[in-house]
Structure 1
Amino acid sequence: YPNLIPMSAREVTKIVDTVEPYEFDRVYAGWWDRTVMSGGKESVRDSARRYIEHISD
């Protein structure tokens, strides 16, 4: 389960920074019902922000 792999805030920020130059709308998941069909780039940013907030508490 990829959501159970702990990553540091630095690693998550690096992922977001790496995909930032690319234009994309969809994010394909490991499960069919989890695919983000639109707003993918914003979803990545929001997810990273929430993750970093949670591990920083």
Structure 2
Amino acid sequence: MVGRIIDMNNTEVFVSFENGVTIDVNKFNLPSNAKIGDTVRIDPGTPRISNSKLVDFF
């Protein structure tokens, strides 16, 4: 799937697709020179970082 980088930090890259879906992927799964606004191809099998569940470590 082809998407556009809309935001990034030290470990995550947020990619938006034409169908309105936004995902976050590990920054190290993309080229080192990727920057906000670039178009990237994401393989649907690429491991993703998910913040959808709260984990209680205590």
Which bin holds the TM-score, normalised by the shorter protein?
Answer: under 0.3
TM norm structure 2: 0.22
Higher normalized helix content (fraction of residues): 1
Instruction: Identify which of structures 1 and 2 has the higher relative contact order when contacts are C-alpha pairs closer than 8 Å and 6+ apart.
Output: 2
